Amino acid sequence: MSEPIRLNPPLTDEEVMKLRAGDQVLITGTLYTGRDAAHKRLVDLLDSGEPLPVDLAGQIIYFVGPTPSRPGQSIGSAGPTTSYRMDAYSPRLIERGLKGMIGKGSRSKEVVDSMIEHKAVYMAAVGGAAALISRKITSCEIVAYEDLGPEAIRKLEVTDFPAIVVNDCQGNDLYEQGIEEYRIA
């Protein structure tokens, strides 16, 4: 098994183009959070020609609604949420320069096509490991939509945040590759 690839957002097209489905990555730097309610608001802003509350160019969005932090911690449990709920909105954000998304589950053909066209990747974080993942988050601040509670957009600072590339910008899909690898002829 090869060493994990280290990523430090914001990401460039060149960095994203080197990633392949199945690559293990460790992310250090800034991640933004967002779930479906926040994604809808972002796309509504784009539709009305208004600026976004955060510059998504080169950034990664982690699909998470963290629990409140305990005393002395920067964040509570922070496990990934199911990604398909963002599928209606993700292509618009990818067009605006979003380079990565982290969640769990498969993505739609429209999202995959947008990742190929605009050079972005989708990564999976391990579901069920929310408490362990939260240890990789060193700070957390709400930057937009505080009224959404756990679904507010947060700016996370992370160190060696683990993820696995599921969909790369060449059209490869780790989930499909896994099925093929174990298919009985």
Residue numbers annotated as active site: 39
Q: Is 162 helix (H, G, I), strand (E, B) or coil?
A: strand
For residue 21, how far is the Cα from the chain centroid? 15
- Which residue bears the tokens 């060449």? 170
Which own/partner pairs from 43-50 qualify as long-range (CB within 8 Å, at least 24 positions apart)? 43/88, 43/89, 43/92, 43/93, 46/92, 46/96
Other beta carbons within 10 angstroms of residue 93's beta carbon come to: 23
